[in-house]
Chains A and B, each alone.
Chain A
Amino acid sequence: MDIDRSGWSGEGTFTTALIEQLKTFESIDLVRVEDAPSSRTDADYNFISNEVYVRFRREESVEPARWLGIVPVRRTVWKPAMTLGDLESQLAALDDVGAPDYADEGMLQYLKAERIIPPYQTRGYKIVELVRIYSLKHET
């Protein structure tokens, strides 16, 4: 599997854990991580927004078809070995990741929040991490 982290600052503990899990999926052949432009820091919070693009391995499949709608033939097609829906269910079963907060046909979204209280402070600040996973298509 190829992992492209060139567009990522490396921030986000959940993103790091997610990538470690994605590495174990044989049906994924590329993971690309990028910082989203909306990442920002304020006095009360640190908002980390990452975008993860996954490309699923393709599998050859032979399907029956009809040439000119009459003659029965068999044709070879390439299908993704996994869908985003499959990925969602498999990630949901993992303790480190869990079910997404939002999912649609093109995206899985995780929103995690954690309050950090450094030594000698009472209020601290909040780390909010937003991770969106998109599916990449193979170039034809």
Chain B
Amino acid sequence: MSILGRKISVKAIVALVFAMIGVAGLLPVRTKGQPREIVLVAKGMAFYASGTNTANPEITVRPGESIRVVLKNEDRGMTHDFAVPAVKAATDPLNWNEQGGVTFEAPEKPGTYEYMCRPHVLMMKGALKVTND
């Protein structure tokens, strides 16, 4: 085999690949546990944290935290979803009595981002607060 006019043997390529694998094994790997699950219920054209009465509650997460949002659609006759445009994450559209989830990593930069139901963004949107506190 010839690259840039130099001949490289197959043995050299194999040795290089093994060397790269070896080095990769020594690199620190960022391990992450199971994502934290947040259960939301869609009803009356609003999101509610399961078991609470606050419409479109603020969701607080840590920078880069792995989150799984499970949405239960209890809004008869309505199709809802849950989306966080800042991280391009969204559930599939869910019909009444359906449940779906989406796993995403919170933005690394602290701040307030928006979550929403894309078909009903006027009434179904809330704050995703990313903070170290």
Contact = CB atoms under 8 A, between A and B. Distances in A.
A104 B75 CA distance: 13
Given A38-B44, A128-B45, A130-B45, A45 B123 contact: yes
A85 to B, nearest CB: 15
Chain B interface residue number, banded: 10 to 19
Contacts of B45: 38, 47, 49, 128, 130
Chain A interface residue number, banded: 10 to 19
Contacts, number: 34
Interface string A117-140: 000000000101010100000000
Given A102-B78, A107-B76, A109-B77, 17 more contacts: A37-B44, A38-B43, A38-B44, A38-B45, A40-B46, A44-B122, A45-B123, A49-B44, A101-B77, A107-B77, A109-B76, A126-B122, A128-B122, A128-B123, A130-B45, A132-B76, A132-B77
Interface of B: 43-46, 55, 76-78, 122-123
